[in-house]
Structure 1
Amino acid sequence: MQTFGEGFLKDCIKRFRYYKELGDKTFEQLKEEDFFYQPNLSSNSIAIIIQHMYGNMLSRWTNFLTEDGEKDWRKRDAEFEAMSISREDLLSFWNEGWKCLLTTLESLQPDDLMKTVTIRTEPLLVYDAILRQLAHYPYHVGQIVYIGRMIRDNEWSSLSIPKGESKIYLDSVKKAQQNKQ
Structure 2
Amino acid sequence: MYLESFKQRLLTYKELAEKTFAQLNDEQVHWQPAGEPNNIYIIVKHMSGNMLSRFTDFLTTDGEKPWRQRDAEFEDDPGATKAQMLDIWNKGWDCLMNTLNTLQEADLGKTVYIRTEPHLVIDALNRQLAHYPYHVGQIVYLGKVMKADNWQSLSIPKGGSRQFNEQKASGK
When normalised by structure 1's length, the TM-score is 0.92
36, 43, 55: which one pairs with 1:42? Answer: 36
63, 81, 84: which one pairs with 1:89? Answer: 84
Which residue does the alignment assign to 2:4?
10
Unaligned runs of 5+ in 1: 1-6
Which residue does the alignment assign to 2:113?
118
Which residue does the alignment assign to 1:140?
135
Distance 2:113 2:80 in 1: 32
| RMSD of aligned residue pairs (Cα, Å) | 0.9
Counterpart secondary structure, 2:92: helix
Which residue does the alignment assign to 2:60?
66
1:145 offset after TM fit, Å?
0.3
Cα-to-partner distance string for 1:112-155 (whole Å, 9 max, x where unaligned): 00000000011000000000000000000000000001101111
Distance 2:62 2:130 in 1: 19
Which residue does the alignment assign to 1:79?
73
Unaligned runs of 5+ in 2: none
Cα-to-partner distance string for 1:15-39 (whole Å, 9 max, x where unaligned): 1111110111000100111000001
User: What is the identity, as a one-letter code, of the residue corresponding to 1:16?
Assistant: L
Counterpart secondary structure, 1:73: coil
Counterpart secondary structure, 1:154: helix
Which residue does the alignment assign to 1:4?
none
Which residue does the alignment assign to 1:155?
150
Distance 2:34 2:47 in 1: 20
User: What is the identity, as a one-letter code, of the residue corresponding to 2:29?
Assistant: F
Distance 2:82 2:145 in 1: 19
1:86 offset after TM fit, Å?
1.7
Counterpart secondary structure, 1:118: strand
Distance 2:159 2:27 in 1: 31
User: What is the identity, as a one-letter code, of the residue corresponding to 1:21?
Assistant: E
Counterpart secondary structure, 2:118: strand
Distance 1:168 1:39 in 2: 35
17, 23, 27: which one pairs with 1:23? Answer: 17
User: What is the identity, as a one-letter code, of the residue corresponding to 2:17?
Assistant: G
1:41 offset after TM fit, Å?
3.8
Which residue does the alignment assign to 2:170?
175
- Structure 1: 4+ residue segments shifted above 3 A: none
